[in-house]
Amino acid sequence: MISYTSLIELQQNIFTEAEKMKVKNAEEFYKILERKAIYPVFQPIVNLQTGEVAGYEALSRIDKQNTNLMISDLFVIAEQMGCVWKLEKLCRNKALKAAADKPEKAKIFLNVDGNIIQDKSFIQGFTNRKAAKAGVPASDIVFEITERSDIENYQILQQIMNHYANQGYEIALDDVGSGYSGLNRVVNTSPNYLKADIELVRDIHKDKKKELMMKFLLQYCNETGVTLIAEGIETDAELECLHRLGVHYGQGYFLGRPNKGFENISEEAMGVLQKLNINHNKNYGKAEKE
């Protein structure tokens, strides 16, 4: 039987180990920032009706050197330390530099924390300068408001959306359909794109309720002039269902994995879309050939 004294000592040891890990993670965080040991990868966002790549989401990866941290860990640490903008600035700078080589007219989706505008170290005009240096026009950039931090005050959310929209950038809302708060964000703001949550897409071809929810989102988007993007497409069956429903754009491993370069849609996914479009008597690829 464990004595009270032993229990206290055990709690102290656990606490000490937790604190040690926190300090270790903070040290690794600053080393990564100092070395700028982060690089961008780009995942294609595909027009599901034509098969053309409409844009790419810029994601970040850590240059693995003496660290087991993932990029998601870095953002958690950054939030705990009040350093989100420092990390986001590095990721954004790397992505914009690489975006100089993107295909013409392809959009670049940049993730942005919804609370970033309240960060005291936030630098206004940063993206304008970096994008101009890379030769990427504002009209080719979409700021994707992420759900890393919950934003209950929709005035703050609209503030950051207006901040970027007034500079000529477009706005996307992430994880739509994941709950009441997600839908509430939609009706309280005016985005250009809605990204349907991955859980709504997973096995959608087997679930009529998910189909109905996707139809609802699509109808809302069609009537408000918003582009709907289905995230997390991982199978041909999911792709076929979303195509049949008329969803505008899609993203996911089946369409294309994140890559350091700007890759096209996967051959397998292209074959599926070609077959679907032929079956629907659509002139697939005609515009490209002309």
The residues spanned by each domain of the chain are: 1-35, 36-289
Beta strand 170-176 with 141-146 is: parallel
Superfamily of domain 36-289: EAL domain (3.20.20.450)
Least confident of 7-11, 94-98, 239-243: 7-11
- Given a cut of 50, is residue 284 above it in pLDDT? no
The rounded radius of gyration (Å) of the Cα atoms in the chain is 21
Residue 98 burial by CB count (10 A; 0-12/13-18/19+): exposed, middle or buried? buried
Structure confidence at residue 8 (pLDDT)? 55
pLDDT tens digits for 169-228? 999 999 887 655 567 778 878 899 999 999 999 999 999 999 999 999 999 999 999 999
The mean pLDDT value for 156-171 works out to 88
| Cα(25)–Cα(27) distance, integer angstroms | 5
More confident residue, 55 or 147: 55
Share of the chain above pLDDT 90, in %: 61
Structure confidence at residue 150 (pLDDT)? 56
Structure confidence at residue 287 (pLDDT)? 42
pLDDT band at residue 158 using 50, 70 and 90 as cut-offs: confident
- Using alpha carbons, list the distances in angstroms from residue 113 to 19, 116, 149, 216, 257: 27, 5, 7, 27, 23
Structure confidence at residue 147 (pLDDT)? 60
Q: How many CA atoms lie within 13 A of 143 on its CB side?
A: 28
Q: What is the pTM of this model?
A: 0.87
Instruction: Give the relative orientation of helices 71-81 and 4-35 as an angle to the nearest 10 degrees.
Output: 100
pLDDT band at residue 41 using 50, 70 and 90 as cut-offs: very high
Beta strand 38-47 with 249-250 is: antiparallel
Structure confidence at residue 239 (pLDDT)? 98
